Amino acid sequence: MANIKEIARMAGVSVTTVSRVLNNHPYVSEVKRTAVLNTIEKLNYTRNMNAVHLITGRTQAIAVIIPYTNLFYFSVIIAGLAQEALLAQYRLVLCQTDYRTEEEIKVLEMLRNKEIDGVVMVSSTMSSEAIEEYTAYGPIVVCQDRGERQFSSVYIEHYSAFRSGLQYLNDKGYRHIGYCEGRPHGSSSSIRQIAFRDFLEATDQPYNDEWMIYNCLTEEDGARVLHQLLQMKNRPDALIISAGDHIAAGLIIEAWKKGIRIPEDLAVIGFDDQPIGRTLGLTTVDNQLTEMGISAFRIIYDQIQRNDGQPVHRKLEYRIIERNTV
Amino acid sequence: MANIKEIARMAGVSVTTVSRVLNNHPYVSEVKRTAVLNTIEKLNYTRNMNAVHLITGRTQAIAVIIPYTNLFYFSVIIAGLAQEALLAQYRLVLCQTDYRTEEEIKVLEMLRNKEIDGVVMVSSTMSSEAIEEYTAYGPIVVCQDRGERQFSSVYIEHYSAFRSGLQYLNDKGYRHIGYCEGRPHGSSSSIRQIAFRDFLEATDQPYNDEWMIYNCLTEEDGARVLHQLLQMKNRPDALIISAGDHIAAGLIIEAWKKGIRIPEDLAVIGFDDQPIGRTLGLTTVDNQLTEMGISAFRIIYDQIQRNDGQPVHRKLEYRIIERNTV
DNA sequence: TTGTAGGCGTTATCAA
DNA sequence: TTGATAACGCCTACAA
């Protein structure tokens, strides 16, 4: 493959001039510019970007750490990131880590290696301290609320979003609220549990361990939960489902099969505003996933461009979408 | 940042020896190896991978051309690709092209640029001839059936899969079959239309233009289709929905709301075996999406390793999953 | 088993 | 406006 030297020789100019043409630098006469462009055309030349990356110290690429790509929640964030990356002519290196810490570390090592210019950690198992050790090598954005750390963050306040959902149920008159949580040790599950307890306390309701259901992650789990409820002597009159509308969908479909009326027999509020929820008329808390991806990219892009290490912390707004399952 | 030269000087060895240690080459005495490893540790050294990429001409990365990342169909293929890439220690550069040809070309140019070692085109708007021009620069795998081309492919036979679905409905006694297609000009939509016509002809059924419905892409489209059916004087007794179970889900949910019984009043068969379909008991054609991602990666990986330009064409099997909407 | 030296293909520096 | 030359950081003949 032809290289810049060959182009220079054939066009009768120096390599510097070729480089200037390649990078649209000023101070190149039209004559030489066209001469260079012609030989580039003739030799079917393209730059070897690895050489460019080596000398500039930049790769125009960022990595995304994400546990799964085929879950709605994550896939929407990726879509937002990818959309902005396309606009900015940046590459997105997708690292599906399955929540494995050693894989997350490998990605951060890519930052040290100079393979990428920054890292977006959509969901991470690493401690904030461990992440901070890598901020020396380039900008890092985490899509979780971890407080005022040395790395940037984009997040929604899970405490507040969850309490809003609970308050909404309360305002509609429900006084026996059950709660379906996703991963029991997920990063925001403990904060939601605190929110739940606080809410019960504030509204003078007793805590009922039976109404606290863990490991609700799939449509099938949603259906399972409905059966669990049917077994109970003392049933909740409303359910808040934190890990996504698809779980609520599974539950609602099963409820229809069993003749349980929604919301008369059981009110349901979900999270994420998924398409299937729209179809079902599911009331939900929209937590702006596309916006999260977009913001994460913009923040990291800004920091790369300005070479600015100052961490940014952006809080996103959630909103309740009222439909007819509450 | 420290470089290999500095490590060599501090460890009292040559850069070659350091390089050998770095790459686990033989012929390094234990004494020198530990000396090198110690100074690497001491100086907190890592390789600059861009220099490695430059000199080796490889980047351990492949690009994925995909129109959207947050559609079930695509997200599952990505997950399969990502899973295998992780195992092989390869990077996945995700290029969400929104079906824009100029963006697809930019990705193929990355192959010329040596930024990546190969390209997986999950769905492309480019002509096979245009793609073939890039096979000179590295392996390309297309997840579409384009015949025996110069690039590799992984595919399911849409003609045959679709006819199987139709035949299944026919075998179950349905004689008035309607058809919901996705993008009217999608790569496989014309082949399915041929399959549809062939099927009607083979079973001596007339073609009814009213039962051919285009642009069914979302859950809402599915619901819309149900309303369309309700308007018809002459309704089909079965429906085949090619662009995914989520559309069938939208239709089924709307049918429940309207009191239309499935399958008594209307049988439905979908595609993709999505979780929401499992929940609804939807009969579907599983077209092995995860397997498609896995295969695509393995093929391209093999070709990169063996530096072998011989295109491979792998046909995947589909299978009908019988549940209770037919 | 070890080291020297050349090369990968670009951009940056500085002088002209 | 142009060009010679020095980086960038690594791998790899080839020689010892």
Mean pLDDT rounded to a whole number for chain B: 95
Nearest to B66 by CA among B125, B6, B5, B1: B125
Q: How far is A48 from chain B (nearest CA, A)?
A: 5
Q: How far is A256 from chain B (nearest CA, A)?
A: 9
Q: Which of A3, A56, A70 to substitute to test the interface with B, most B CBs within 10 Å?
A: A70
How many CB atoms are located within 10 Å of the residue A120 CB? Answer: 28
Alpha helices in chain B (DSSP H): 4-11, 15-22, 30-43, 49-56, 72-87, 101-113, 128-132, 158-171, 189-202, 219-231, 245-258, 275-280, 289-306
Closest partner residue to A69 (CB to CB) among B50, B54, B75 is: B75
d(Cα B120, Cα B142) in Å, to the nearest integer?
6
d(Cα A248, Cα A149) in Å, to the nearest integer?
34
What CATH number belongs to A158-286? 3.40.50.2300
> Is B113–A280 a contact, with Cβ atoms under 8 angstroms apart?
no
Please count the residues of chain B: 326
Which DSSP string do the residues of B261-286 spell out, in sequence order? -TTTT-EEEEES--HHHHHHT-EEEE
CATH class of domain segment(s) B4-47: mainly alpha
Check if A93 contacts B (Cβ < 8 Å): yes
Tell whether the model's pLDDT for residue B1 goes beyond 80. no
Q: Which nucleotide is nearest to B57 (CA to C1')?
A: C8
Closest partner residue to A96 (CB to CB) among B46, B86, B254 is: B86
**DSSP element (H, E) containing A276:** helix A275-280
Q: Which nucleotide is nearest to A56 (CA to C1')?
A: C11
Confidence category of residue A184, pLDDT binned at 50, 70, 90: confident
Handedness of CA A273, A279, A281, A282 (dihedral sign): negative
Tell whether the model's pLDDT for residue B31 goes beyond 90. yes
Q: Which of A43, A52, A59, A69 to substitute to test the interface with B, most B CBs within 10 Å?
A: A69
Q: What superfamily does domain A59-156+289-317 belong to in CATH?
A: Response regulator (3.40.50.2300)
Is A39 (CB) below 7 Å from strand D? no
Averaged over B224-251, what is the pLDDT?
96
Tell whether the model's pLDDT for residue A253 goes beyond 90. yes
Q: Supply angle C-alpha A148, A151, A152, rounded to 5.
A: 80
> Is A96–B114 a contact, with Cβ atoms under 8 angstroms apart?
no
Check if B46 contacts A (Cβ < 8 Å): yes
Q: How far is the CA of B113 from the C1' of C7 (A)?
A: 19
Residue A304 has which token pair? 């790369």
pLDDT in tens, A285-304: 999 999 999 999 999 999 99
Closest partner residue to B69 (CB to CB) among A75, A113, A280 is: A75
Confidence category of residue B307, pLDDT binned at 50, 70, 90: confident
Check if B102 contacts A (Cβ < 8 Å): no
d(Cα A27, Cα B275) in Å, to the nearest integer?
60
Q: Under a CB-based contact definition with an 8 Å cutoff, are residues A119 and A63 in contact?
A: yes
pLDDT in tens, A315-326: 999 999 999 999
Q: How far is the CA of B60 from the C1' of C4 (A)?
A: 30
Q: How far is the CA of B100 from the C1' of D6 (A)?
A: 42
Q: Which nucleotide is nearest to B27 (CA to C1')?
A: C1
Residue A138: alpha-carbon gap to chain centroid: 19
> Is A54–B50 a contact, with Cβ atoms under 8 angstroms apart?
yes
Check if A59 contacts B (Cβ < 8 Å): yes
Neighboring chain B residues of A114 at a CB cutoff of 8 Å: 48-50
Residue A128 has which token pair? 């904030």
Check if A9 contacts B (Cβ < 8 Å): no
Which DSSP string do the residues of A49-89 spell out, in sequence order? HHHHHHHHS--SEEEEEES-SSSHHHHHHHHHHHHHHHHTT
CA torsion, points B207, B208, B211, B215, in degrees to nearest 10? 70
Averaged over B137-151, what is the pLDDT?
96
How many CB atoms are located within 10 Å of the residue B288 CB? Answer: 20
Is A17 (CB) below 7 Å from strand D? yes
Task: Tell me if domain A4-47 and domain A158-286 are identical in fold.
Answer: no
Tell whether the model's pLDDT for residue A159 goes beyond 80. yes
The β-bridge partners of B231 are none
**CA distance readout (Å), B326 to A99, A250, B225:** 39, 20, 18
Q: Under a CB-based contact definition with an 8 Å cutoff, are residues B124 and B100 in contact?
A: no
Residue B314 has which token pair? 């792998």
Tell whether the model's pLDDT for residue A188 goes beyond 90. no
> Is A279–B93 a contact, with Cβ atoms under 8 angstroms apart?
no
Is B16 (CB) below 7 Å from strand D? yes
Nearest to B62 by CA among B119, B137, B11, B131: B119
Closest partner residue to A256 (CB to CB) among B114, B256, B275 is: B256
Averaged over B39-60, what is the pLDDT?
96
Q: How far is the CA of A15 from the C1' of D12 (A)?
A: 26
How many CB atoms are located within 10 Å of the residue A85 CB? Answer: 24
Handedness of CA B122, B126, B128, B133 (dihedral sign): negative
Total CB pairs under 8 A between chain A and B: 149
Neighboring chain B residues of A250 at a CB cutoff of 8 Å: 276, 279
Q: Supply angle C-alpha B207, B212, B214, rounded to 5.
A: 155
d(Cα A225, Cα A210) in Å, to the nearest integer?
11
Contact partners, residue A55, CB within 8 Å, separation at least 6 = none
**DSSP element (H, E) containing A95:** strand A91-96
Maximum pairwise Cα distance, chain B: 90
Check if A49 contacts B (Cβ < 8 Å): yes
Averaged over A187-194, what is the pLDDT?
90
Which DSSP string do the residues of B132-161 spell out, in sequence order? HTTGGGS-EEESS---S-SSEEEE--HHHH
> Is A115–B50 a contact, with Cβ atoms under 8 angstroms apart?
yes
Tell whether the model's pLDDT for residue A308 goes beyond 90. no
pLDDT of residue B188: 87
pLDDT of residue B2: 87
Q: Under a CB-based contact definition with an 8 Å cutoff, are residues A323 and A289 in contact?
A: no
Contact partners, residue A271, CB within 8 Å, separation at least 6 = A161, A165, A241, A242, A243, A244, A245, A284, A285, A287
Q: Residue B111 in 3-state DSSP?
A: helix
Contact partners, residue B16, CB within 8 Å, separation at least 6 = none
Contact partners, residue A52, CB within 8 Å, separation at least 6 = none
Neighboring chain B residues of A109 at a CB cutoff of 8 Å: 46
In chain B, what are the domain boundaries? 4-47, 59-156+289-317, 158-286
Q: Could you tell me what percent of chain A has a pLDDT over 70?
A: 100
Nearest to A88 by CA among A66, A117, A53, A115: A117
Residue B226: burial class (beta carbons within 10 Å; 0-12, 13-18, 19+): buried
